[in-house]
């Protein structure tokens, strides 16, 4: 069974810093990997989706990479802002169309 792990569980950084969030998965047989953010009391907002054949995707200050063979993905956030404070979740889509989610990284950006 696929297991998705996110490290660290929590991260606190001063405003303006660049940071990296990590996601690892145990089975490389995935269709894609998606990064989400979740604000308190809210649903999930999709940030980036990387196909299994891709190595990275970029959107604004966000860059996500995927190394399928090693079972790893990173989400890079440049020039962090207080508005980036949220929980970040990664999820992999596997054969059978199920998604497996990590437990998330809680990010706090200090003004």
Partner 1 sequence: GAGVSQSPSNKVTEKGKDVELRCDPISGHTALYWYRQSLGQGLEFLIYFQGNSAPDKSGLPSDRFSAERTGGSVSTLTIQRTQQEDSAVYLCASSSLAGLYNEQFFGPGTRLTVL
**Residue 60 in contact with residue 79, Cβ under 8 Å?**
no
Stretch binding partner 1 (CB under 8 A), from 11-19, 58-66, 77-85, 94-102: 94-102
Contacts of partner 1 in 32-91 (CB under 8 A):
32, 34, 36, 41-46, 49, 51, 89, 91
Q: Measured from the CB of residue 80, what is the shortest distance to partner 1 in angstroms?
A: 23
Counting DSSP H helices and E strands in the chain, the numbers are: 0, 11
Using rule CB under 8 A, residue 93 touches partner 1: yes
- CA dihedral sign, ordered 85, 51, 5, 71: negative
Residue 31, CB-side half-sphere exposure with 13 Å CA sphere: 8
Residue 102 beta carbon to partner 1: minimum distance, rounded to whole angstroms = 6
Residue 53 structure tokens? 């054949």
Query: What is the binding site for partner 1 (CB under 8 A)?
Result: 4, 31-32, 34, 36, 41-46, 49, 51, 89, 91, 93, 96-104
């Amino acid at each position: 069974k696929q297991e998705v792990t996110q490290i660290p569980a929590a991260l606190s950084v001063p405003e303006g810093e660049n940071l990296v969030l990590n996601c690892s998965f145990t089975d490389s047989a995935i269709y894609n990997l998606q990064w989400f953010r979740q604000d308190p009391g809210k649903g999930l907002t999709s940030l980036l989706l990387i196909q299994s054949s891709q190595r990275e995707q970029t959107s604004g200050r966000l860059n996500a990479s995927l190394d399928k063979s090693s079972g790893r993905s990173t989400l890079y956030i440049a020039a962090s802002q207080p508005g980036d404070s949220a929980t970040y979740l990664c999820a992999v889509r596997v054969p059978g169309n199920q998604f497996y989610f990590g437990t998330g990284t809680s990010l706090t950006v200090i003004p």
